[in-house]
Amino acid sequence: MIKKIWTFSTVFVLLYSGCVFAHGNVSLESDVCVRTMAGSMVHLSTYQPQHDPKAEYCTEIPQEGETFWVLDLVDSALRKMPIDVKIVRGNGDSLGDTIASIYSTDHSDGIIKGAFSLDKGDYTLFVTGVGVPSLHYEYPLHIQMTNYKDMFFTMTPYILAFLLIVLATDKFLKRRELQH
């Protein structure tokens, strides 16, 4: 009896695709990869096609190594000003060496892209719109680091749903067994 419940519940959870950790297919208002300053928006996407050709990430990059990034300048005013992009080792108050830097003056299509290869650890990607006033955006990057707090809060609804299904199925099967 319990084996049937476990099998059913396990198959349900494994087939449910809602617990994918990559981001994508969300509106700009709810996208965690959008930064807004003074009404201007930028959006960062990172990709590692050598590991998963379809996955799009933001700040939690699952593997170290070559990573392609695309910065979308959503606001048309940003497309007319020079943009400085820097990747620095560390985050918060413990910023270290600049790992990579790009200064772009030709991005009328609203896209700046590049690639970097980073080791496991924490980094910060700074985006600065060089103008008056200048605009500063910041993305903390975590390469091959597991954020257990976020994972817990992401998985909790699925775990609770799984337990409720197990409980309801158990109650249903026990009631059915008593009727026969």
Task: Tell me the pLDDT tens digit for each residue of 120-135.
Answer: 999 999 999 998 888 9
Tokens of 88: 């620095």
pTM for this model (two decimals): 0.65
Measured from the Cβ of residue 78, the count of other Cβ atoms closer than 10 Å reads 24
Q: Are 117 and 67 in contact (CB under 8 A)?
A: yes
Q: Which of 126, 125, 145, 144 is nearest to 135 (CA)?
A: 126
Mean predicted confidence (pLDDT) in 148-175: 87
Per-residue pLDDT tens for 83-105? Answer: 999 999 998 777 888 989 999 99
pLDDT at residue number 140: 92
Percent of the chain with pLDDT strictly greater than 90: 47
Domain ranges for the chain, please list them: 24-153
Fold topology of 24-153: Immunoglobulin-like (2.60.40)
Give the pLDDT of residue 46.
94
Radius of gyration (C-alpha) of the chain in whole angstroms: 22
DSSP letters spanning the chain: -HHHHHHHHHHHHHH-GGG--S--S--GGG-TTEEEETTEEEEEEEE-TTT-TT--BSSEESSSEEEEEEEEE-SGGGGGS-EEEEEEES-TT----EEEEEEES--TTSEEEEEEEE-SEEEEEEEEE-SSS-EEEEEEEEES---HHHHHHHHHHHHHHHHHHHHHHHHHHHHHHHH-
Per-residue confidence (pLDDT) for residue 25, from 0 to 100 = 57
Give pLDDT, residue 14: 39
